[in-house]
Structure 1
Amino acid sequence: MPISERRSAGVPSELRERNLKTIIDVVFRYQPISRTNISKLTGISKPTISKLVGSLINEGYLVSTGKTSSGLGKRQELLSFNPDKAFVISVDVGLATTIVAKVDLSMKMTDKYEITTSESPEKFASELVDCVSNVCDKGNGLPSYVVISVPGLVRGDLRTAINVPLLHWVDLPLAEFVENRLKLKGIETSVTINNDAKLGVLAEVALNQVIPDRFRNIVYVLVKEGVGIGLFINGSLYVGSNHIAGEFGHMSIDPDGPECSCGRRGCWLTLVGSRELESLVRDNRLNDYLELFSVGLLNIVNGLDPDIVVISGALEEYWDNVLPALKAKLKNSALFELSSMEIIKSAFDDREGPILGGALMGLRKYLNIETGVL
């Protein structure tokens, strides 16, 4: 029975569902975790935690995974999501290759495959479905959802890729393409798509324990073939009215720069992608790259005033040089005291972040949690 259908006598349904969502989010982030720590982290009373956690255990969503290490006091039972309860297929589409991963409810990536990314939507969908079918044929059952991360614009219904310039996909009903082919294989499941940076910031917010829980404004910068931005604003994922918020890669910082797929010149993403980084590093010009990168990042920081900036992708390889240089460049031009803002590298690589974010999106849908934006 979906969690949202459960009711408890004497407990207002809205409060119950809010408490359940809070508990589930904390378990996703900190599993394995004890009931006592769930109560401490959520502020929900121990009796309420005991009752709601008990219902999750009885319905098979949570399982015991051992006890806390010995020390003062009684050893406490540790709980995690049940890996056998459900799984999703999370897909990250890249320019050259696509990663297909099986992720179970405990957020373990138990199978991972790599296929060539075809510019032909029909061929891509066919090869992706063959891969998903192989996962199912291994005795895994059927995925609760298939979530596809793409490096481009996605319509708000999370079914259509508006524009994926690197693959020349325009107004592509990708979710429908894949769903129809899955049905031909006897696999009945829902398919949804999302932008890679939006899924990346979801993974950071939900799983990166380095980021303090009190931080409510987070900017995620994904440097791959271009640059993508994911936003967590005032405690919620921010996608905008048309689900395209965060397209800062298309701000022009050099009117004489290279032409962008959007038709303008000198867009930030054309100057600071992984290929541009590698080219300048070969010429021993990392500082020139960071100068261009910091111009765009400064605009974002001044405009949004985040608690923290999380950087993922190609820059991580040079992090020991990147971090002090970025801090110095931003300090000279930021509109506020940068000591109040942190800059860190991602807890995940540029493919893993969107995959885990996609898995979270699918598993939350499975658990019937209303996130408000996904």
Structure 2
Amino acid sequence: MALATLLATTLTPSAQAGPVQTLAGGWQVETIASGLEHPWSLAFLPDGRMLVTERPGRMRIVQPDGRLGPPLAGLPAVVAGGQGGLFDVLPSPDFASSRRLYWSYAAPAPGGRGANSTAVARGRLDGERLVEVEVIFRQQPALDSRLHFGGRLAWAGDGRLFVTLGDRFWRRDDAQTLDNHHGKVVRIEADGRVPADNPLVGRAGARPEIWSWGHRNVQGAALHPLTGQLWTHEHGPQGGDELNLTRAGANHGWPRATWGCEYVTCFRIGEKSVAGLAEPQTRWVPSIAPSGLAFVTSERYPGWKGSVLVGALKARALVRLTLDGERITGEERLLTDLEERIRDIRQGPDGWIYLLTDAPEGRILRLAPTIAR
């Protein structure tokens, strides 16, 4: 059976996988799989199966009918606690031949003593095991912290890998210095090497992996389907969540520039705007706690093609943004009556939108309109 036919057959919404819930506004969400402990990332394999990560440190294969496989063996040690754990997973661009997966996670620092950092590993999928596992990147320096790991991955069209890295909360000023990976987006080759054309290569005292800096905690990353440019979003403190067009060598301001304020006291942090620093495409005040980012290229959703979808943890919503070029022209909040924290968003190869709910009994959901929109 041809791949396109297989996908259309196995991934068309049906009652097989789980119950369908009808929501306000003419939407249905179908439960594809349930019983997942704080699922964090969803990815699709060429044969119609899915991969899902669970923050406590498990990665599973999900059959098209929603059956969960056992946790894959072979993962390296994961620091699970606070915001730490197993994060994103992506098949390699040549997965059909290489069977290789890439994933990000909170990793214990070599030598222990409680220090940890965001790391990226890769391995080959062999049945229900990961083999030939190697760590290709570690955020430096490691800290004893359970906060602000970042952890999103995105493949660029040239086969390079973007990795988002949080400021670790306690070291927010590091986001403005270039001798560390805190509060940065980095760009690496598929084997972890530094691309020769990275913006800071050859700059004294700068980490050559850095693509952009001045970030707080980036948990959404996607490439624009037409321009190939990297878009990310990040958590502000109280207020000041941002959606950014994340260009090479850009300083996105944190903590010099932010619309957020200190927790409890809400004292100002820096300025709202600083000349010469990159401005976000949009902000959310108060915070929505964004997680997951996807561009809609599908014809399944009338009027949605070209939109940006953002999951919201605190706001418990799916946020749809409309674009005119690089300019945000509108915002719509959907699925608020679902009352679920949306952790990840993916457009499947079948054109349907899939969501992960962040909960002790998290689910994979598929979104479909019940009426023409």
* Greater share of strand: 2
* Greater share of helix: 1
TM score, norm. by length of structure 1: 0.31
TM score, norm. by length of structure 2: 0.31
Q: Which has the larger radius of gyration?
A: 1
